[in-house]
Amino acid sequence: MIAADAPGGPHTRASLAAQLRTLGVRPGGTVLVHAGLRGLGLLCGGPEAVLLALRDVLGPDGTVVVPTHTPENSDPAGWTNPPVPAHWWPVIRSELPGFDPAVTPSRFMGALAELVRTWPGARRSDHPHVSFAALGPAAERIVAGHPLADMLGERSPLARLYDLDADVLLLGVDHGPNTSLHLAEYRQPSPPQQRCGAAVLTADGGREWVWWDDIRLDAGGFDRLGADLEAAGAVRLGPVGDGTGRLMRQRAAVDFAVDWLARHRRTEEA
């Protein structure tokens, strides 16, 4: 809990909305939000105040999108935090509950993401590992048809956001969790591949374990990429609560990242 004497607080729905307007959140736009609320100070209403402020600025034609990923629904052979013994893997694969977009919580994406997921009228994509939730008129267009393979690529909600010329808003976090940058990984020539697995629901209400091949996602260097993106003038920075908001056009960020990854990862791997 934030201390009552936190600098600048308390921050209200109205004051947060004023800061978001100044930062440049576009009325009627679509915005993908990554939030670490602890750094924003004392929020009068917690994550609800942030969501309501965002919706006040976006207006009835705007759409809020959040990552509602479930990284725990994955192949236990790849778990590292903590790792589990190999003889546990078959049990986990056979007993892990199947992903249900209506009820499966998103435990690691933050309080704002979980609030959007459970908000009346929100829609969620049905990917068992990297789902997104959206609230607003463009929600169904963004989350529908999220395939197992190409999970953050050209058929994913990230690509639909690119098509919509959406914004990305980082609240109290840097570029490390900026999921849109993964779309740039799919736009590299011959990205490294891996086998992925997850538990899903079946049509008859049961569950099964499924496998698919996808690229090996790697957020390593995203902080450095983001710093260069900011240096290029593609990110607007401003106060939100006691923290920092970072706002960028998703297309500009992805296009910059495509070139950045081509230069830096190729150099580092050479």
Q: What is the pLDDT of residues 74-112, one digit of tens each?
A: 999 999 989 999 999 999 999 999 999 999 999 899 999
Can you tell me the mean pLDDT for 22-30?
98
The pair of structure tokens assigned to 18 is 């004023």
Are residues 48 and 114 in contact, defined by beta-carbon separation less than 8 angstroms? no
φ/ψ of 238, rounded to 5, equals -170, 165
User: Residues 6 or more apart from 139 whose CB is under 8 A from it?
Assistant: 63, 65, 121, 122, 123
Amino acid at 14: A
Rounded distance between C-alpha atoms, residue 222 and residue 227, angstroms: 8
Cα 85 to Cα 126: distance, rounded to the nearest angstrom: 29
Mean pLDDT, all residues of the chain: 94
Q: What is the pLDDT of residue 226?
A: 97
Cα separation, 239 vs 15, in Å, equals: 11
pLDDT at 205: 86
Whether residue 93 contacts residue 207, with contact meaning beta carbons closer than 8 Å, is answered with: no
Q: Give the H/E segment covering residue 197.
A: strand 193-201
What pLDDT does residue 70 have? 97
pLDDT of residue 3: 41
pLDDT in tens, 121-150: 999 999 999 999 999 999 999 999 999 999
For residues 250-270, average pLDDT: 85
pLDDT digits (tens, 9 = 90+) for 164-222: 999 999 999 999 999 999 999 999 999 999 999 999 999 888 999 999 999 999 999 99
**Percentage of the residues of the chain whose pLDDT score is greater than 90:** 92
* Structural contact between residues 155 and 142, judged by C-beta atoms closer than 8 angstroms: no
The model scores a pTM over 0.75:
yes
Q: According to the model, what pLDDT value does residue 7 have?
A: 58
